Amino acid sequence: MQTTKKRQPKKLPKILSREDVQRILAVPNVKCITGLRARVIMHLLYRAGLRVEEVCRLRPEDCFLVDSYIYVQQSKNKVDRVIPVDAETIGWIEKWLAVRYDGDYLFSSCKGKKLDQSYVRKILYQASERSGVYIQDNDIKKRVKPHCLRHCFATESLEDGANIMQVKELLGHKDVSTTQVYESVRPFLLRDFIQSREPLGV
């Protein structure tokens, strides 16, 4: 007797509104060094679309601020990529470089060691709780994870005019089909098409 395969659920990436992201980014106290570090880390997750491991492995030498890009080395699939960054992102990195802890990594701990990925997740969890911003996953309300900010980056890049191949390169995806899911997260173009249709008049 042939058994039927159980259909696996297909979920779209969970993202936040731009306003909710701002509420999360406003949580760290940037007047203290650990708060500034948290703020810059979250900014890079959101405005450069970095993965957690990529943030932790960044070195000061990977930040080419005069030329406005970050060099991500040997990330997922052992591929390098270059990510252009805007003036605001450069400004935050410069603030951190001026006071950062000594160490090989951009976001070294106070002892000069590379930050653990669990620490970055903790930063987001705390910001999620303190801002009251959560992700609704079916019946469950969940704290915001770092990867959610990467999802926001991809979705907003498409909304702001980047094409799918540009977003693929920015995210470092191997296949464009992985990137195409973001076209369905907030389908504003489809919404505008539907809303522009002529009324039936009946």
Catalytic residue (one of 57, 81, 150, 168)? 150
Is 151 among the residues known to form the active site?
no
- Helices 18-25 and 117-131, axial angle in degrees (round to 10): 110
Catalytic residue (one of 23, 76, 121, 186)? 76
Q: CA 137 to CA 11: how far, in whole Å?
A: 10
Catalytic residue (one of 37, 39, 43, 51)? 51
Catalytic residue (one of 43, 57, 168, 173)? 173
Residue (of 50, 59, 39) closest to 148 by Cα position: 50
CA 8 to centroid of chain Cα atoms: 26
| Max CA pair span of the chain | 72
Q: Is 37 left (phi over 0), alpha (psi -120 to 50) or beta?
A: alpha
Please give the backbone phi and psi of residue 179, each rounded to the nearest 5 degrees, phi first: -80, -30
Q: CA 46 to CA 133: how far, in whole Å?
A: 15
Please give the backbone phi and psi of residue 143, each rounded to the nearest 5 degrees, phi first: -65, 155
Is 173 among the residues known to form the active site?
yes
AA identity, residue 106: L
Give the three-class secondary structure for 110: coil
CB atoms within 10 A of CB 39: 21
Catalytic residue (one of 14, 114, 142, 147)? 147
Is 43 among the residues known to form the active site?
no
Is 76 among the residues known to form the active site?
yes
Residue positions annotated with a catalytic role: 51, 76, 147, 150, 173, 182
